[in-house]
Amino acid sequence: MLFKQMMPTRASVRAAFLLTTVSVVPAASAHEAPKGWAYPLSCCSNFDCKPVSNGSVSERPEGYVISTGEVVAYNDKRIRNSPDGEFHWCAHQSGLDAGRTICLFVPPRGF
């Protein structure tokens, strides 16, 4: 009788399986910008990107200058078109490359 009470029900086994499966399978998509478009996986790890004010990025002859002092040349492969017309900066959050740009989403350049 005691053994029968300890046996899990089918429902509890299914629930445990689903919880394990959901918690083990990583998400395959990047996080979204505030206006609803998704940052590409190549630019972020679900927390590396954020919108930045126009004052955080300036245009100089050598390229875009980020408030950290880093210069990203206009022809750099890290430059992306911004779907919402605003600046978005994706940067490493830790390690030796902390603060270094992964991608910079830029609005159309002024003439």
Residue 14 has pLDDT above 70, yes or no: no
List, for residues 39-87, the tens digit of each pLDDT value: 998 888 777 899 999 899 999 999 999 999 999 999 999 999 999 999 9
Which among 94, 111, 90 is positioned nearest to 102, based on CA atoms?
90
Question: How confident is residue 27, by pLDDT bands cut at 50, 70 and 90?
Answer: very low
Burial 42-61 (b: 16+ CB within 10 A, else e): ebbeeebbeebeeeebeeee
Has this prediction a pTM greater than 0.85?
A: no
Cβ–Cβ under 8 Å, residues 63 and 73? yes
Rounded to whole angstroms, how far apart are CA atoms 95 and 87?
A: 24
